[in-house]
Amino acid sequence: MDRSAVLAPANPRAVRLVDLLLAAGTVVAVLAGTARLGGRLDAAGALPLALWLGLLLLARRRRPLAVLLLSVQAVVVFRTAGLTDAGWVWPVSAAYATLAADDRPGRPGLPWAAAVGLAELAFAAAWETTAGGATLREALGSLGVEALWLAVLLAAATAYRNRLRWRAELGERLLRAARERDLEAGRRIAEARLEIARELHDVVGHTLTVVGIQLRVAAEALDDAPEDARAALTTAQQVRTEALRDLRALVHVLRAPGEATEDPAAGAPQVAALVDRMRSSDLDIRLETSGDLGAVPAPVSLAVHRIVQEALTNTVRHAGATRADVSVRCGRRWVEVSVTDDGRDPAEAPEAAGHGIRGMDERVRALDGDFSAGPRGEGDGWVVRAAIPVPVFRS
Compute the C-alpha angle 172/178/179, nearest 5°.
90
Cα 19 → chain centroid: 39
Q: Exposed e or buried b for every residue in 200-236, given b needs 16+ CB within 10 A?
A: ebbbebbbebbbebbeebbeebeeeeeeebeebbebb
Q: Which residues contact 283 (CB under 8 A, 6 or more apart)?
A: 315, 316, 321, 322, 323, 324
Percent of the chain with pLDDT strictly greater than 70: 79
Bigger pLDDT: 59 vs 215: 59
The string over 119-155, giving b where at least 16 C-beta atoms fall within 10 Å of a residue's C-beta and e elsewhere, is ebbeebbebbbeebebeeeebeebbeebbebbeebbe
Q: Mind listing the pLDDT tens digit for each residue in 143-201? A: 888 888 888 988 988 888 888 788 878 878 887 887 888 788 778 777 777 777 766 66
pTM of full prediction above 0.85 = no
297-334 residues labelled b (16+ CB within 10 A) or e (exposed): beebbbbbbbbbbbbbbbbbbbbbbeebbbbbebeeee
How much of the chain, in percent, has pLDDT values that exceed 90?
A: 9
Q: What is the pLDDT of residues 269-291, one digit of tens each?
A: 889 988 888 887 778 899 999 98
Helix (H) or strand (E) holding 374: strand 370-375
- Averaged pLDDT of the chain: 78
- Cα distance between residue 75 and residue 37, in whole Å: 16
Contacts of residue 44, Cβ cutoff 8 Å, sequence gap at least 6: 83
**Which architecture characterizes domain 267-395 according to CATH?**
2-Layer Sandwich (3.30)
The pLDDT score that the predictor gives to residue 62 is 85
How would you class 52 by CB atoms within 10 Å of its CB: exposed for 0-12, middle for 13-18, buried for 19 or more? middle
119-126: long-range contacts (C-beta < 8 A, 24 or more apart)?
A: 120/72, 120/75, 120/76, 120/88, 120/89, 121/88, 121/89, 121/146, 121/147, 121/150, 123/76, 124/79, 124/88
For every residue of 224-257, DSSP letters joined together read: T-HHHHHHHHHHHHHHHHHHHHHHHHHHHHHHST
Residue 104 vs residues 62, 108, 144: alpha-carbon distances, Å: 11, 7, 31
CA distances (Å), 366 to each of 64, 332, 370, 371, in order? 60, 20, 10, 11
For CATH 3.30.565.10, list the domain ranges present in the chain. 267-395
pLDDT classification of 262: cutoffs 50, 70, 90:
very low
- pLDDT score at 337: 95
Measured over the CA atoms of residue 192, residue 197, residue 202 and residue 206, the dihedral's sign is: positive
Query: Does position 380 have pLDDT exceeding 90, yes or no?
Result: no
Q: Give me the phi and psi of 33, to 5 degrees please.
A: -65, -40
Question: What contacts 112, CB < 8 A, 6 or more positions away?
Answer: 65, 68, 99
* Greatest mean pLDDT among 192-201, 330-339, 373-382: 330-339
Calpha distance 361→350 (Å, rounded):
22
Q: What is the pLDDT, as a whole number, of residue 206?
A: 65
